[in-house]
């Protein structure tokens, strides 16, 4: 029996919980900055919710993949990339929205006029 299996299982479980939390954070950190159709929002919500639930399931019911250092390492890297993307993309979207608001102010447009000038985009 592998003496490191307990450590691998813990790393695997922790990484999967961090990934699941990342999927759960998307509606709060990314979606408020993007205008989506109802259909795109529904598909996106389903995708992110199910991906998150998959990783929670993987963390809770550690199966044969968890005994592999490869999968533990792969999920650790995925967890870092998930949150690296979320944080950097969130900051980028906030900056873009701030620049847009500044341009609207400088042009002296109301939000409604700016939206109409942009073709109805917020």
- Map tokens 């109802």 to a residue: 38
What length is written for the chain? 122
In this predicted structure, what is the pLDDT of residue 18? 93
Across 2-13, average pLDDT: 77
pLDDT over threshold 80, residue 67? no
- What are the pLDDT digits (tens) for 81-110? 888 888 888 888 889 889 988 888 888 877
pLDDT over threshold 90, residue 20? yes
In this predicted structure, what is the pLDDT of residue 1? 47
pLDDT above 90 as % of the chain: 7
| CA 91/CA 85 separation, integer angstroms | 10
CB of 90 within 8 A of CB of 22?
Answer: no
- Averaged confidence pLDDT in the chain: 79
In this predicted structure, what is the pLDDT of residue 17? 93
DSSP assignment string, 7-61: HHHHHHHHHHHHHHHHHHHHHHHTGGGS---HHHHHHHHHHHHHHHHHHHHHHHS
């Amino acid at each position: 029996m592998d003496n490191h299996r307990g450590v691998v299982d813990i790393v695997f479980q922790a990484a999967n919980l961090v990934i699941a939390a990342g999927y759960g954070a998307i509606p709060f950190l990314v979606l408020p900055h993007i205008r989506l159709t109802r259909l795109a929002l529904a598909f996106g919500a389903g995708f992110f919710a199910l991906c998150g639930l998959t990783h929670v399931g993987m963390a809770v019911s550690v199966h044969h993949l968890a005994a592999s250092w490869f999968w533990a390492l792969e999920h650790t890297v995925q967890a870092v990339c998930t949150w690296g993307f979320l944080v950097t993309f969130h900051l980028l979207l906030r900056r873009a929205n701030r620049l847009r608001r500044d341009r609207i102010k400088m042009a002296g447009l109301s939000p409604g006029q700016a939206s109409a000038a942009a073709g109805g985009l917020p």
